[in-house]
């Protein structure tokens, strides 16, 4: 028996993982990255794409068809639709990102506290999360917006609170798993304090799956925020927010359908690109964890 044959026996070739549903080709992921990068650029520097004021109205030019001056036409009071869509990227993307961050930070704090301390803290936090999950997200958002008043930040907090229970449960599960690992027991053995264990080992090692899940959560937050604005619970006029634009355009569908179609397309493109990126990151993370 040769040395090479022995190596092959000791290190058998891993079976090929079949491509299942939900697997995205690299080209699709690349396209998603490019689309999302353009949307982020539009959110940060809208003047690179359009020179029209998104809130400047011209009633004499209402419901104008797409033209060289107004690429996607105008809305019911003559505002440039393309300009409003470009500027709306800032509101929708910032809503998704900040709402997800609120849920992530709150979830990490509650999840680590519950999973590491156990006992009464674990029971109290778990019951609190169960209470939040018992109510529909729309009801939680309605109460939050009623207390804080209408506006962008009220909408962000309303959506963020809806993301908190899921993030906290995920972090708690990761902390419980990591507490049983060898490196944590070794840290206890060499005399590390609880603070050192939590900040240096438990929190960093529990963030991987939570961060991957949060990427997908950005898309969910954008849809939920747009839905609340569509129902009149989020942004207020004349904010160029996509959900609010859909709400304002629904009564003019027979006159000017493009005023509703384009905001819907932008929401769809944004959420699909984020979902593709999130699913790709999730698969990479799972593959990396299974190889350890």
Q: What pLDDT shows up at residue 292?
A: 59
Where helices occur in 231-241 by DSSP H, the ranges are none
Q: What pLDDT shows up at residue 95?
A: 95
Q: What pLDDT shows up at residue 18?
A: 45
Q: Give domain status of residue 245, yes or no.
A: yes
Q: What pLDDT shows up at residue 266?
A: 97
**Strand pairing partners for 80?**
74
The per-residue b/e assignment along 241-267, b for 16 or more CB within 10 angstroms, e otherwise, is bbbbbbbbbeebeeebebbbebbeebb
Q: Give domain status of residue 19, yes or no.
A: no
Q: Give domain status of residue 153, yes or no.
A: yes
Q: What pLDDT shows up at residue 106?
A: 93
Q: Give domain status of residue 240, yes or no.
A: yes
Q: Name residues whose C-beta falls within 8 Å of residue 212's C-beta, 6 or more positions apart in sequence.
A: 278, 281, 282, 285
Say which residue the tokens 């080992």 belong to: 201
Q: Give domain status of residue 280, yes or no.
A: yes
Q: What pLDDT shows up at residue 25?
A: 61
Q: Give domain status of residue 15, yes or no.
A: no
10 Å Cβ neighbour count for 240?
Answer: 26
Return the structure tokens found at 179. Answer: 């507490």
Provide the domain limits for residue 203: 78-291
Assess contact for 274 and 219: CB atoms under 8 A.
yes
**Strand pairing partners for 74?**
80
Q: How far apart are alpha carbons 41 and 7 in whole angstroms?
A: 51
Q: Give domain status of residue 221, yes or no.
A: yes
Q: Total domain count for the chain?
A: 1
DSSP string, 248-270: HHGGGTTT-THHHHHHHHHHHHH
Where helices occur in 63-181 by DSSP H, the ranges are 81-117, 119-134, 137-148, 152-179
Taking only the tens of pLDDT, the chain with its 292 residues reads: 444 444 444 444 444 444 444 454 689 899 999 999 999 999 999 999 999 999 999 999 999 988 889 899 999 999 999 999 999 999 999 999 999 999 999 999 999 999 888 789 999 999 999 998 898 888 889 899 989 988 889 999 999 999 999 999 999 988 888 888 777 778 777 877 778 888 888 888 888 888 888 999 999 999 999 999 998 888 888 999 999 999 999 999 988 898 999 999 999 999 999 999 999 988 888 888 776 5
pTM, whole model, 2 decimals?
0.83
Identify the DSSP state of 71.
Answer: T
The per-residue b/e assignment along 110-128, b for 16 or more CB within 10 angstroms, e otherwise, is bbbbbbbeeeeebeebeee
Q: What pLDDT shows up at residue 189?
A: 79
Q: Name residues whose C-beta falls within 8 Å of residue 233's C-beta, 6 or more positions apart in sequence.
A: 141, 142, 145, 150, 155, 158
Q: What pLDDT shows up at residue 34?
A: 96
Q: Give domain status of residue 13, yes or no.
A: no
Q: What pLDDT shows up at residue 137?
A: 86
State the CATH number of the domain containing residue 162: 1.10.3720.10
């Amino acid at each position: 028996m040769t040395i090479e044959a022995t190596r092959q026996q000791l290190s058998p070739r891993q079976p090929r993982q079949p491509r299942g549903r939900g697997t995205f080709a690299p080209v699709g992921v690349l396209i998603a990255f490019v689309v999302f990068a353009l949307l982020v650029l539009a959110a940060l520097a809208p003047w690179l794409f359009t020179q029209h004021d998104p809130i400047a109205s011209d009633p004499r030019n209402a419901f104008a068809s797409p033209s060289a001056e107004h690429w996607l036409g105008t809305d019911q009071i003559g505002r440039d639709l393309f300009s409003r869509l470009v500027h709306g990227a800032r509101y929708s993307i910032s809503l998704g990102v900040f709402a997800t961050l609120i849920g992530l930070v709150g979830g990490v704090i509650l999840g680590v506290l519950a999973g590491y301390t156990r006992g009464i803290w674990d029971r109290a936090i778990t019951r609190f999360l169960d209470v939040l999950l018992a109510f529909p997200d729309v009801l939680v958002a309605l109460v939050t917006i009623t207390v804080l008043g209408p506006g962008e930040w009220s909408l962000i907090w309303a959506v963020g609170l809806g993301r908190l229970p899921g993030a906290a449960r995920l972090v708690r599960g990761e902390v419980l798993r990591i507490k049983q690992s060898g490196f944590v027991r070794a840290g206890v053995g060499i005399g590390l304090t609880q603070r050192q264990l939590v900040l240096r080992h438990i929190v960093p090692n529990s963030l991987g799956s939570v961060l991957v899940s949060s990427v997908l959560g950005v898309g969910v937050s954008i849809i939920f925020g747009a839905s609340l604005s569509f129902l009149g619970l989020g942004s207020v006029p004349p904010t160029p927010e996509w959900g609010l634009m859909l709400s304002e355009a629904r009564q003019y569908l027979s006159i000017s359908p493009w005023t509703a179609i384009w905001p819907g397309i932008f929401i769809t493109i944004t959420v699909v690109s984020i979902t593709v990126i999130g699913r790709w990151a999730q698969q990479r993370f799972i593959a990396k964890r299974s190889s350890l």
